[in-house]
Structure 1
Amino acid sequence: MHEQKNNPLHGLTLEAIVTRLVEHYGWDALGQLINIRCFQSDPSVKSSLKFLRKTPWAREKVEQLYLSTDFS
């Protein structure tokens, strides 16, 4: 198993990341911040996870938004 010392996303599931972003921004704002259809057309966590797990560039955008968001 690899060490994850400098990985700020270590221990977070993709589901936790998406859920937290939806709680913070809502689907409408999230769909504007990241222009992907799974956030804009009949969005759900389940459908978003299915798309993001198959689409590395979209997952990276979601992870970057998570890291740049101030949740306080």
Structure 2
Amino acid sequence: MMGRQSISLTEPNDRWLQEQVASQEYASKSELVNELIRQERKRQEEIDWLRSELIKGEKSGFSTKSKQDILALAKEGLR
């Protein structure tokens, strides 16, 4: 079940939504707004994860590894 909401938009934001729908990228303003919310939720999850990792890093203390060692570990982690 989907909840219904009534929202007020500024003129520039409403015009932008209308342009996106007119370009047939999205079927409706509702579809586009839902997509934007999904993107923002994903972005917020990524920020929360990064914040958590930074806190863990701060709590782990100082490293005795060289910059080159740290860079090599980071690059390995990306693979």
Query: For the superposition of Structure 1 and Structure 2, which TM-score range results when normalised by the shorter chain?
Result: under 0.3
Relative to the length of structure 2, the TM-score reads: 0.25
Q: Which has the higher helix share?
A: 2
> TM-score normalized by structure 1?
0.26
Which of these two proteins has the greater Rg computed from alpha carbons?
2
